[in-house]
Structure 1
Amino acid sequence: MYKSSTRSFPVYDSLRQAIIEQALKPGVKLPEDSIGETFSVSRTTVRSALVRLDAEGLVDLQPNRGASVAVPTIEEAHDIFEMRQCLEREVIERLCKMDAKPILKALKVHLAEEKKYLDVDTTRSIRLAGEFHILLAELTGSRILANYVNEIVSRCSLILARFAQAHSAKCGVDEHSEIIAAIEAGDADRAAAQMHQHLDGVQDRALLNPDDQDKDDVSAILARYVTPNA
């Protein structure tokens, strides 16, 4: 989901995925030369990817200081979650006015994938949890709304990486199930309420708990995201 349409952007896709999956933590330096060596691309290509990620709020790119994974403040975290509530309420309202059958089919397939990797693959569980919300937005048929939700869900991954205490992903999967059940019941008010409670829960679980900077080598982390013959 959300792979770049341009084959020359494997660096962007991989960096973005590594950030969303919290393999690259907030504040980690992103040296252009080592990233270029990891992906066997030029620094110009790496720079283009970093500029794009900077525009999305996932990377902090400073003149003469290089790039690093963005570090959200607690004030920004609260603001982002408030905006996310507004966007996802709009998503639910639109979906509840549409034919539920194709929506439910897609959501249940995704939920099954979430359950499959629960407590099995932490990084994939993190990504799938965010993609559930992106899928909801995509199903509205609004590219603009989907793009906004995609960006804000990605930025919430940064917030969780910086502030959240460790917790089981099971609560998120259960809450996703409740949202689907409300849509299936045709109860728009209940679906909106379930989404609101779910996002409140996500925000509550993002308690202030700053860890030390991740000391892992960036090249070693990104090597896991290199696609052979990309």
Structure 2
Amino acid sequence: MYKSTTRSFPVYDSLRQAIIEQALKPGTKLPEDSIGETFSVSRTTVRNALVRLDAEGLVDLQPNRGASVSVPTIEEAHDIFEMRQCLEREVMDRLCRMDKKPIVKALKAHLVEEKKYLDVDTTRSIRLAGEFHILLAELTGSRILANYVNEIVSRCSLILARFAQAHSAQCGLDEHTEIIAAIEAGDADRAIMQMHRHLHSVQDRALLDPDERGKEDVSAILARYIVPNA
């Protein structure tokens, strides 16, 4: 999802994925020189990627201070989850007024992937859980709505990386299953209620318990995200 094509975008894609999968934690410094060496690109190319991520709220880019993964405050966390409730309520309402068969087929196929990596690959499981919500928005056919949901889901990944307590991914998987069932039944009220409960459950797993961040080896982490011949 959301792959790009120009020269600076493989760097953007990799950084964004590493942040969403919580491999790069909030507060982690993102030095342009080491990232450039990792991807064999110029610092200008790296900066272009960082500027775009800064615009999306995933990176904090400060003049003369460099870039780091954004560190959301607890106030921002509550605001973002409130906005997410509004967006995903609209997604549920639209999907329940559409032809259910192709929607449910796509969602169930995604659920198979979520189950496949449950308790097997934590980073991929985190990403797939977020992509479930992005897929829901994409299936409405509204590019604008999908873009907004994409951005806010990504920012929620940062919130969870900073504040979330440990929990079983099975919880989210069961909740996704209930959401699909409500959509399949064409019951908008039920679908909205299930989504509301699901997002509250995700929010309830978050705790104000930040630990010391920023000491990760960025080059080593990003090396895992390099696509051959990109």
TM-score by length of 2: 0.98
Relative to structure 1, is the Cα distance of residues 153 and 164 closer, same or farther in structure 2, using a 3 angstrom cutoff? same
Q: Which residue of the partner structure matches residue 161 of structure 2?
A: 161
Q: How does 1:187-206 map to 2 (within 5 A)?
A: 187-206=187-206
Residues in 2 aligned to 1:214 and 1:179: alpha-carbon distance in whole angstroms: 36
Distance in 1 (CA, whole Å) between partners of 2:109 and 2:2 is 17
Counting matched residue pairs gives 230
Aligned-residue sequence identity (percent) comes to 89
Q: Following the alignment from structure 2 to structure 1, what is the Cα–Cα distance between the partners of residues 213 and 8?
A: 30
- What is the match of residue 212 of structure 2? 212
Gaps of 5+ in 1: none
The Cα shift of 1:129 comes to 0.3
Task: Tell me the amino acid that sits aligned with residue 166 of structure 1.
Answer: A
Corresponding residue number in structure 1 for 2:55: 55
| Cα distance between partner residues in 2 of 1:28 and 1:214 | 4
Residue identity matched to 1:71: V
Cα drift, residue 7 of structure 1? 4.8
Q: CA deviation at 1:139?
A: 0.2
Partner amino acid, structure 2, of 1:78: H
Q: 2:27 aligns to what?
A: 27
Are the aligned partners of 2:92 and 2:188 in contact in 1 as well (CA < 8 Å)? yes
Match of 2:184 in 1: 184
Paired with 1:200 and 1:26, the residues of 2 have a C-alpha distance of 22
Deviations 1:83-119 (A, max 9, x none): 0000000000000000000000000000010000000
Counterpart for residue 95 of structure 1: 95
Q: Secondary structure at the match of 1:115?
A: helix
Question: Is residue 2:67 matched to residue 1:67?
Answer: yes
Secondary structure in 2 matching 1:212: coil
- Write the letter of the residue equivalent to 1:17: Q
Q: Which runs of 5+ in 2 are unaligned?
A: none
Tell me the amino acid that sits aligned with residue 167 of structure 2.
H
For 1:18, the aligned partner's letter is: A
Matched, 1:9 2:9: yes
Q: Deviations over 1:132-167 (max 9, x none)?
A: 000000000000000000000000000000000111
Shift of 1:168: 1.1
Q: Which 4+ stretches in 1 moved above 4 angstroms?
A: none
In 2, the alpha carbon distance for the partners of 1:8 and 1:25 equals 22
- Report if aligned partners of 2:88, 2:149 keep a CA contact under 8 Å in 1: yes
Letter in 2 for 1:50: L
Select between 70-79 and 214-223 the one with higher mean Cα deviation: 214-223
**What is the alpha-carbon distance in structure 2 between the residues aligned to residue 67 and residue 28 of structure 1?**
9
Is residue 118 of structure 1 aligned with residue 118 of structure 2?
A: yes
Q: Cα gap change, 1:145/1:5 in structure 2, threshold over 3 Å: closer, same or farther?
A: farther
Whole-angstrom distance in 2 between the partners of 1:78 and 1:10: 32
Amino acid at match of 1:164: A
C-alpha deviation, 1:187, in angstroms: 1.2
Taking structure 1 as the reference length, what is the TM-score of the superposition?
0.98
CA contact (8 A) 2:8 2:49 kept: no
CA–CA distance in structure 1, aligned partners of residues 46 and 94 of structure 2 = 38
The letter of the residue matching 1:32 is E
Q: CA RMSD in A?
A: 0.8
Distance in structure 2 (CA, Å) of the matches to 1:151 and 1:190: 25
CA distance in structure 1 between the aligned counterparts of 2:65 and 2:120, rounded to whole angstroms: 38
Q: Do the aligned partners of residues 121 and 221 (structure 1) sit closer, same or farther apart at CA in structure 2, a change above 3 Å counting?
A: same
- Matched with 1:109 is 109
